[in-house]
């Protein structure tokens, strides 16, 4: 029994019972022994209750980079997750539970991502997690979540191998399309421009692999295909005569690639995927960033009415800092988990990791990014794509 100003010690409990028994009058024969006990216990339970008792608590985890070069990603997404939880708790919680956030920093480092995933898994109150907002860290940590039976929603990765769909239980879900969908959009644009050959600069990510595999379907030749770590990658690209470079690399690496192309007076077009939406990309690329085009399933808040409304609410919890491109998917991922949690509690009475994993595949969401539903591969394959062109001051402008 919780200690309070009205709580009673065991000795006091005995004295109370003895005193109550000694005061029984000749009418006591009408009161059964069990009735007396029930009356006493009712009194004691009332004494132990605290007015405005709090709801039981369940936890959702978040792992993102909060320190290091990509710390802005962590702070972009954590305010979005906090906003969703604040809204849910203010509305009465979820299924009678308050929902708390447990956040860990992986510094965009694969080894640390594994360590932080294991920390989350060690807390039995954590029933699901969101993370890690990077292909390499999410891939590294994936098995730790699966081994612990802790479902993970990955809002910002394209690798379809992270979410195999051969089982009904969803331990890892992706809030976005597979890499080949994004690659196909990029290749179709190149095709419309009338180019038959493109150069590919890739650090080995899933988008680069999908671009190589999909080029043949569009009648395009990918040559050369180089790593930005190769000492002579720039010479190979310039020597190929390609007027289009497809770039699949982390924001900082991609920024260095574009800056080097600019310094070498290469005057072709650069296209890429969601990595080029990061502010770090434009900052590192400098003046050479003008004209770079990218496609992403996660629009900037100013470019969709519902997302713009979300941005206003976001500023109320972020000290007026505007949301970046990953805030909306993090917000939607949180609400999908909250809906799965509601269904889990309704079905089982108490939330469990297994229950959450079983319910997630059928959990949809009509939110700031439009209708979201997971396919058989546990991915949001039907996510709409948004095109942007970066202007001279580094600001992405929407394209048709």
The CATH code belonging to domain 57-177+304-372 is 3.40.50.2300
pLDDT tens track for 149-159: 999 999 999 99
Spatial distance between the Cα atoms of 171 and 56, rounded to a whole number of angstroms: 25
Q: Per-domain residue ranges for the chain?
A: 10-48, 57-177+304-372, 179-296
Q: For the beta carbon of residue 9, count every other beta carbon within 10 angstroms.
A: 8
pLDDT tens track for 9-39: 333 333 333 433 343 333 333 333 333 333 3
Beta strand 98-105 with 126-130: parallel, antiparallel or unpaired? unpaired
Backbone torsions φ then ψ of 254, nearest 5 degrees: -60, -40
Instruction: Decide: 276 and 294 in contact? Cβ < 8 Å.
Output: yes
- Burial class of residue 332 in the structure, from the number of CB atoms within 10 Å of its CB (0-12 exposed, 13-18 middle, 19+ buried): buried
Q: Do domains 57-177+304-372 and 179-296 have the same CATH topology?
A: yes
Instruction: Cite the beta strand spans of the chain per DSSP E.
Output: 57-64, 98-105, 126-130, 152-154, 172-174, 197-202, 221-226, 244-248, 269-272, 293-296, 365-367, 370-372, 386-390, 396-399
Per-residue pLDDT of the chain (400 residues; tens, 9 = 90+): 333 333 333 333 333 334 333 433 333 333 333 333 333 333 333 333 344 457 899 999 999 999 999 999 999 999 999 999 999 999 999 999 999 999 999 999 999 999 999 999 999 999 999 999 999 999 999 999 999 999 999 999 999 999 876 567 889 999 999 999 999 999 999 999 999 999 999 999 999 999 999 999 999 999 999 999 999 999 999 999 999 999 999 999 999 999 999 999 999 999 999 999 999 999 999 999 999 999 999 998 777 667 778 889 999 999 999 999 999 999 999 999 999 999 999 999 999 999 999 999 999 999 989 899 999 889 999 999 999 999 999 999 999 8
> Which residues are CB-neighbours of 2 under 8 A, at least 6 positions away?
48, 50
One of 3.40.50.920, 3.30.1540.10, 3.50.50.60, 3.40.50.2300 is the CATH number of 179-296, namely 3.40.50.2300
Q: How large a percentage of the chain has pLDDT more than 90? A: 78
pLDDT at res. 400: 83
């Amino acid at each position: 029994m919780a200690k309070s100003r009205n709580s009673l010690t065991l000795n006091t409990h005995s004295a109370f019972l003895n005193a109550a028994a000694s005061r029984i009058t000749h009418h006591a024969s009408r009161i059964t022994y069990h009735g007396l006990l029930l009356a006493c216990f009712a009194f004691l339970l009332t004494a132990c209750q605290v007015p405005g008792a709090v709801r039981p608590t369940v936890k959702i985890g978040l792992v993102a980079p909060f320190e290091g070069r990509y710390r802005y990603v962590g702070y972009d997404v954590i305010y979005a997750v906090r906003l969703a939880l604040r809204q849910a708790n203010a509305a009465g919680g979820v299924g009678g539970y308050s929902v708390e956030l447990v956040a860990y920093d992986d510094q965009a480092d694969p080894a640390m991502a594994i360590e932080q995933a294991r920390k989350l898994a060690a807390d039995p109150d954590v029933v699901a997690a969101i993370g890690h907002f990077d292909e390499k860290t999410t891939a590294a940590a994936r098995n730790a979540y699966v081994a612990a039976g802790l479902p993970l929603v990955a809002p910002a990765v394209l690798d379809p191998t992270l979410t195999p769909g051969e089982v009904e239980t969803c331990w890892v879900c992706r809030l976005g399309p597979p890499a080949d969908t994004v690659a196909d959009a990029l290749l179709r644009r190149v095709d419309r421009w009338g180019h038959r050959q493109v150069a590919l600069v890739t650090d080995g990510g899933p988008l680069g692999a999908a671009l190589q595999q999909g080029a043949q379907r569009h009648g395009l030749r990918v040559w050369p295909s180089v790593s930005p770590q190769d000492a002579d990658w720039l010479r190979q690209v310039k020597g190929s005569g390609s007027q289009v470079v497809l770039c699949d690399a982390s924001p900082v690496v991609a920024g260095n690639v574009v800056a080097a192309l600019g310094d070498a007076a290469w005057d072709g077009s650069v296209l890429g995927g969601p990595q080029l939406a990061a502010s770090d990309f434009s900052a590192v690329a400098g003046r050479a960033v003008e004209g770079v085009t990218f496609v992403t399933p996660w629009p900037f808040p100013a470019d969709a009415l519902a997302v713009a409304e979300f941005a206003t609410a976001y500023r109320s919890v972020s000290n007026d800092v505007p949301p970046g491109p990953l805030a909306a998917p993090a917000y939607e991922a949180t609400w999908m988990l909250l809906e799965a949690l509601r269904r889990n509690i309704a079905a089982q009475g108490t939330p469990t990791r297994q229950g959450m994993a079983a319910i997630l595949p059928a959990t949809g969401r009509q939110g700031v990014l439009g209708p979201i539903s997971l396919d058989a591969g546990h991915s949001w394959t039907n996510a709409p794509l948004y095109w942007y062109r970066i202007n001279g001051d580094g600001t992405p402008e929407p394209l048709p």
